[in-house]
Amino acid sequence: MTYALFIGMTLVIVAGLGTGTIAWPVKRIRNFHFEHFLFVSMLTGLIIVPWSVFLLKVPSAGAIIQSVGVKPLIIANLLSISWGVANVLYLVCVIRIGAAITGATLSALGMSVGVLMPMLIKGSGLFANAPDLFSPVGGIILTGLLVMIIGIVLITKAGLAREKIMKGEQTRHEGISYKGGFLKGLLLAVVAGILSSGISLAFVYGQSPVAKAVEAVGGSPVIQSFSVWALAIAGGALINVCYAFYLMVRRKTLTPFFSSSSEILYGAIVGVQFIFSIVLMGKGMLLLGALGASVGFAIQQTSQIIGNQLVGFWGGEWKGINGKPRQLMYAALITILLAVVIIAYSNVYTAH
């Protein structure tokens, strides 16, 4: 394995752990307001940080946007809007069925779409050289995805077994109520999973034109990365911020927002954590080469699943749940790790 591949894999692993653990403050906030937390985290991570870097560090930002052109930005933002919808559903499902089950289901399905699409419809720049889906490398990746589907089935069975044990009980873990309704929550998680790959695809299909335009005016690789994310996920950012504001209006919680110090603090921290995580993901995908759009996203999503489980177990979602449900969850995690090993091998195979 070359040095670049090693660094690329390391970056996407760290990125996955970063995005997978963004729900960590939810159960630490005593009087939790979902809409306050969502508004601050998305405003900070998706708008304030990336746009501040873009506007302050890139000369003639308006000229950059004009030189990139309308088509790449429309494509990227349509994809980011799909992710924006998925992100809203994810946060709803965390409260409804828990971070562990939601994150694993969403990440695994999102991985399937995010891995296959760049091989069927080539991305921009380096990713335009990705192997075809039905090539030998594509066969290895499809095998990995099949193993991943087995992992999803095991996770679903674990969740159903957990739901059966907890049925009829109303538990509370530091302010978050267990809502039940696993199947309804799972359906939302499935929809979110299919849409969630939009954030990776927005980068795959939009990064090259933006990065080249910023590089042409002297922007460093770090500035290029933040600029790509500022322009590519504006649509998804607006979906999340506007949804949070709508909830505050509907629930009449606009006034309490200004006294919600915990939501503001934790939301800002999570927002910064999120934007730096996806910047690392993008850089890692580029270092992994032409197949990095598929392999990098697969590794990032697997690390995200692990991060989700850490939050779920740490938050007490599996407290008192032993026997078959816990055994199924462990088996699912092992299966998912096996899947990512197979998918990662495809990138090493390509390098040879």
Instruction: Give the tens place of pLDDT for each residue, 173-189.
Output: 434 444 556 677 778 88
pLDDT in the model for residue 18: 92
In a domain, 7, yes or no: no
Per-residue tokens: 145: 């995805």
In a domain, 340, yes or no: yes
pLDDT in the model for residue 12: 93
Cα distance between residue 57 and residue 227, in whole Å = 9
pLDDT in the model for residue 83: 92
Three-state DSSP class for residue 172: strand
Per-residue tokens: 293: 């759009």
Residues 130 and 288 sit within 8 Å (Cβ to Cβ): no
The tens digit of pLDDT for each residue in 121-172 reads 998 888 988 888 888 888 898 898 888 888 877 877 777 777 677 664 544 4
Enclosing H/E stretch for 128:
none
Instruction: Return the DSSP state at 48.
Output: I
Residues 285 and 12 sit within 8 Å (Cβ to Cβ): yes
> Which of the residue ranges 21-25, 58-62, 222-226, 345-349 has the most confident prediction, judged by mean pLDDT?
222-226
Determine the residue type at 42: M
In a domain, 221, yes or no: yes
Q: Which of 161, 158, 98 is nearest to 310 (CA)?
A: 98
Cα distance between residue 344 and residue 144, in whole Å = 9
Q: Which of 236, 223, 235 is nearest to 279 (CA)?
A: 223
State the average pLDDT over residues 16-34: 79
pLDDT in the model for residue 211: 93
Q: Which of 67, 76, 75, 69 is nearest to 219 (CA)?
A: 67
The tens digit of pLDDT for each residue in 227-274 reads 999 999 999 999 999 999 999 999 898 888 888 787 788 889 999 999
In a domain, 24, yes or no: no
State the average pLDDT over residues 198-203: 93
* Those residues with Cβ within 8 angstroms of residue 351's Cβ, 6 or more apart along the chain or in another chain: 1, 2, 5, 289
Number of domains in the chain: 1
In a domain, 41, yes or no: no
Cα distance between residue 136 and residue 149, in whole Å = 20
In a domain, 17, yes or no: no
Residues 140 and 342 sit within 8 Å (Cβ to Cβ): yes
Burial class (CB in 10 A: 0-12, 13-18, 19+), 201: buried
Per-residue tokens: 87: 């992100």
In a domain, 100, yes or no: yes
Q: Which of 13, 19, 90, 7 is nearest to 337 (CA)?
A: 13
Q: Which of 25, 35, 36, 38 is nearest to 175 (CA)?
A: 25
Measured CA to CA in angstroms, residue 261 lies from 33, 43, 137, 264 at distances of: 11, 16, 50, 5
Residue range(s) defining the domain that contains residue 313: 46-351
In a domain, 23, yes or no: no
CA angle 277, 283, 288 (to 5 degrees): 120
Q: How many residues does the chain have?
A: 352
